[in-house]
Amino acid sequence: MVTTIWAGLSVGAIYAIAGLTYNLGYIASGVFNFAQAQFVVVGTFVAYYAGANLKVSIVLAIIGGALFCAVLAGLEDVIALRPLAGSGLSGELITTVGVAVLIEGIILLVAGPDPQRVPYIQSDSFTLLGGRILPAEALLIVCAVAFTVILATLSRRTTLGVTALAAAENRRAATLRGVNVKALSLGAFMLAGAIAGGLGPVIGAKTFATFDLGDGLALKAFVVLAIGGFGSFGGALIGGMAVGLVEALSTRWLGDNYANIMVLVVLVLILLIKPSGLFGRRVERTV
Amino acid sequence: MATLKAAAPRVSAALTVIRSRPYIPIVLAALLVLQPWLGVDQQWIRQTELVVILALIVSGLNLSFGYGGELALGQVAIYAGGAYITAILAEHGVGDMAVTGLAAIGLALVIGLLSGLPGIRLGGWALAMVSFFLVLVLPNIINQFPDLTGGFAGIAGVDRPTLFGISLESTNAFYLTVVILGIIWFVFMRNLVVSRYGVALRVLRQSPVLARSLGISVYRLKVTVYLLGAIPAGVAGMLFTYLDGFISPSSFTFSVAISILAACILGGKDTIYGPILGAAFIQFGPSNSESFQKYSLVAYGAFLVIFGLFLSGGVGELWRRLVSRFGRRTAQVLDASEFDADAAIPPLRGTDLRLSDVSKRFGGNLVLDRVSLTARAGHVTALIGPNGSGKTTLLNLVSGYYTLGSGTISLGDERIDGRSSHRIARAGVARTFQTPNIPEGLSVDETVESARFARHTIGILPTVLRLPVAARTRRDDRDAAAAALDAVGLGPLGTATATAVPLGTRRLLEVARAIASEPAVLLLDEPASGLDAHEVDELARLIRAVAAAGAAVVLVEHNFQMVLGASDHIYVLAEGAVIAEGDPATIRDDEAVARSYLGITTEPGTDVTGSRT
């Protein structure tokens, strides 16, 4: 049982990390960047090539993944989102889904459809509080908590963070206040890409490098934010863990087939009962 | 150059004809029907059938996404539902399309309701993501009932159907069935889009706020179009099962959903026939050739990015631009001052609007503090006060855009506070906006006609089938719109593009739209701002005329001279409270008003830059 919980929490950590990076882009630019999850996948492939082909150290793999995905995310912002700023949701939805599918397609072309083993942090599992857990899994949970604390602190305690919050609240007002909204959103996207890509060796150690992981991950990240509230880092951590546990426990009690179905059920329930998420707040519409 | 110029009128005339009569679709439909007798091979027939099936699904997406404005990919789940119910019925010996068709449509509506209802209320990302997720778990759900669906192996050996006992086994008979069902849907779609429903949808997509103020229930209309869009997807599923006689979960994957989205964007998401083009492109391109299949994800992704960025209207938009360049003269920019408002305003059944002890807080800010006022039918009641004094908030409370803090708002003897904004509008409260709210892509006529959509309802079926009752409503709509336009002096502008007219004209157009809704109460939010002196006089005359026709007019305005001239009774708001009221002469001489509003001395804390919502 405890083993199941550890498994759920470690998968949940991946969802939490994805959710955190989604939040980052959302706070700075108001966009749910559907393609963000693809940077996690790209990160695992960078880790796979770094480990299996180049045989470099994990530190280099992390730096490589972070740099590569930061650049990709920056390109996405400049090419696919900036021209649409303020044109409404459906435009951004189309282009971010487009970028996601494009990246997925390119990965499929370059690396093929088979999952690849990422050769970092592959030591044996150990016992923790009565359940078995892999070192990579433990590290994932630590990373999720650490990044939550760092991002939450940055966003509340630093001028840059508060500025980003302000820009998310009202883009035009922030612009009038002299905030460079474009640079802010570019920076947030690149940071989100860097975090997702840099964690490739840790995430890939658990998930393998798999080309079609991104769509599911993007949707899980949406569930994470729906639970935790859009824009809340603490909410993303809790939402991520919740989704991971729902999956692990449904698999254990109901069977493999139920993992995704139950997450969808949770999403629909949350949207019906508390659409602003557990940590979000409602905004009255204006004319 | 000379010959080009001489040819232009002829080209233009030809394209005008094309635009007003659907000749191209009719010729295309005839060619499709005749295709088997034109000597094409079996492979081509099958490809055409697949294009029609895909076009049906995409057309449903166009209806909900392009026209309804909500991206939901539940279409794939509905398509799968139609396919599976057909296969399951076939296994149980039911092969008559009259039965399976109804079953497929019924299941489509059920899946549409289940997948649409939770998300549509929230709209936007929530709906999109729930529907994406549904597609993702589709294989899991199908696999959940292995006895029924055959699990991952699927169902094989489904025979071609019969229709009322007539076998559709031969290639040509089945082909004709597919094509004719496709034609029926596209005729339905075309009639819907050009009807008043099409106009209402365009209003809804651009401004839900405006739609509500016209009495249109945004939620209900969105659910309606989403469910209508489910029907072709269900039928497509049925046809798909009969086409190959085999289905499995691999036909209903996330990448199928993406290909449908790509076809929708390619053909143009708010077009009637674009889906056929998009479907043909996807069918003959990425999903056809073996070598291309490897690149299909890259291709779909690239389509979505490129079209999303540069051509969000798709190929259909290109075509429309081409036709309108030659076929329609660019809208003349006409000025309202060229006309006289001679025609009378049709009589209006006015009702008194009463606010008592109305309060409203935003967070800790008390924006309105126990405001009571009465706007009597047949009178112009003005509401003046400095920026941030709560005037627009008050209008928004009456319209139902904000929830009331405390107090009551009633129309005659009826309480309207607490009702949703579209129901308040239906009760007879019409309004204009600080920034004129005129949807793009509508003519002046259509803009005014849209005000009658909610108050004179008629079902979708009579509309699409063009029954006499629908024709009568259509005629009434046109007459009422023409009368309202004549009343504000914009009669000659009818067919011009509404967004192309100048600001002053747009304000008059908003008033005409309000008049066409036969309001009991008309709320005017700063109608004179940005108008020149001549236009302000015209507007004042019009406002008096609306009151004389019977309506209760509430005028929020900064132009003090105009207010003095146009109104019967004036309320002065300052910091959320009524500080004075009376007839124009009383207010003009009131000291408190002069002090707080006319700027003899400015009160500290009066927020000049305050947000004006």
What are the C-alpha distances in Å from A279 to residues A235, A276, B292? 6, 7, 46
Buried b (16+ CB within 10 A) or exposed e, B118-148: bbbbbbbbbbbbbbbbbbbbbbbbbbeeeee
CA dist., res. B509 & res. B451, Å (int): 12
Evaluated on CA atoms B594, B597, B602, B605, the torsion sign reads: positive
Mean model confidence pLDDT for chain B: 84
- A38, A241 contact by CB (below 8 A): no
Determine contact: A75 vs chain B, CB below 8 A: no
Q: What is the pLDDT of residues B291-319, one digit of tens each?
A: 666 788 888 898 889 888 887 777 777 77
Q: Which residue of A has its CA nearest to B65?
A: A90
DSSP string across B35-84: GGGGT--HHHHHHHHHHHHHHHHHHHHIIIIIIT-----THHHHHHHHHH
Domain CATH for A173: 1.10.3470
CB of A45 less than 8 A from some CB of B:
no
Structural domain of A82: 2-124+132-273
Pairwise pLDDT comparison (B493 vs B199), residue with the higher score: B199
Residue A109 to residue B119, Cβ atoms within 8 A:
no
A91: which chain B residues are within 8 Å (Cβ-Cβ)?
Answer: 308, 312
Q: What is the pLDDT confidence band of residue A171, given thresholds at 50, 70 and 90?
A: confident
Under the banding of pLDDT at 50, 70 and 90, the label for residue B608 is: very low
Q: How confident is the model at residue B1 (pLDDT cuts 50, 70, 90)?
A: very low
Instruction: Give tens-digit pLDDT for B342-390.
Output: 567 888 888 999 999 999 988 778 888 899 999 999 999 999 988 888 8
Reading the block at residue A218, the tokens are 């993007």
A276 φ/ψ angles, rounded to the nearest 5 degrees: -85, 5
Fold of B348-428+519-613: Rossmann fold (3.40.50)
Residue-level pLDDT at A286 = 41
DSSP state for residue B390 in the 8-state scheme: S
The reply to whether A254 falls in a domain is yes
**Residue A97 C-alpha, separation from nearest chain B C-alpha, in angstroms:** 7
State the CB neighbour count (10 A cutoff) for residue B17.
11
* Residue B2, C-beta contacts closer than 8 angstroms, at least 6 positions apart: none
Q: Is the pLDDT of residue A239 over 90?
A: yes
Of these ranges, A228-232, B491-495, B549-553, the one predicted with the greatest mean pLDDT is B549-553
> Which of A42-46, A84-88, A219-223, A252-256 shows the lowest mean pLDDT across its residues?
A84-88
- For residue A279, is it within any domain? no
Q: Is B171 exposed, middle or buried (0-12, 13-18, 19+ CB in 10 A)?
A: middle
Residue A281 in domain:
no
Domain total in chain A: 1
pLDDT tens for B184-243 read 999 999 999 888 888 899 888 888 889 998 988 888 888 899 899 999 999 999 999 999
The set of long-range contacts for A132-138, using a CB threshold of 8 Å and a minimum separation of 24, is: A132/A3, A132/A6, A133/A3, A133/A6, A133/A7, A133/A10, A134/A10, A134/A205, A134/A206, A136/A10, A136/A202, A136/A205, A136/A206, A137/A6, A137/A7, A137/A9, A137/A10, A137/A13, A137/A206, A138/A10
Contact by Cβ (8 Å): B142, B84: yes
Work out the pLDDT band at B598, boundaries 50, 70, 90: low
What is the Cα–Cα distance from B84 to B86, expressed in whole angstroms? 5
Q: Which residues pair with B521 in a beta bridge?
A: B429, B552
∠ at Cα B62 (B60, B63), nearest 5°?
65
Q: What is the pLDDT of residue A281?
A: 52
A284 domain residue, yes or no: no
- pLDDT for B612 equals 39
The pLDDT confidence band at residue B397, using thresholds 50, 70 and 90, is very high
Q: Distance (Å) from the C-alpha of residue B338 to the closest C-alpha of chain A? A: 32
| Whole-number percent of chain B with pLDDT over 70 | 89
**Chain B, nearest residue to A276 by Cα:** B122
Question: Within a domain: residue A280?
Answer: no
With beta carbons less than 8 A apart as the criterion, state whether A196 and A40 touch: yes
**Total residues belonging to chain B:** 613
pLDDT tier at B410 (50, 70, 90 boundaries)? very high
* Amino acid letter, A144: A
Weakest-pLDDT range from A250-264, B135-149, B293-307: B293-307
Chain B residues whose CB is inside 8 A of the A223 CB are 129, 133
Instruction: Return the number of other C-beta atoms located less than 10 Å from residue B347's C-beta.
Output: 11
Per residue in B21-52, pLDDT (tens digit) is 678 888 888 888 888 888 888 888 999 999 99
What predicted TM-score, i.e. pTM, was given to this entire model?
0.84
Q: Which of A94, A225, A286 best tests the B interface by mutation, with the highest count of B CBs <10 A?
A: A94
Model pLDDT, residue B287? 62
Asked which of A144-158, B41-55, B326-340, B464-478 is least confident by mean pLDDT, the reply is B326-340
Alpha carbons within 13 A on the beta-carbon side of B559: 21
CB-CB neighbors (< 8 A) of A271 in chain B: 118-119, 122, 126, 130
Q: For residue B146, which residues of chain A lie inside 8 Å, CB to CB?
A: none
CB contact under 8 A, A261 and B402: no
Domain map of chain B by residue range?
A: 27-256, 348-428+519-613
By C-alpha distance, the chain A residue nearest B297 is A105
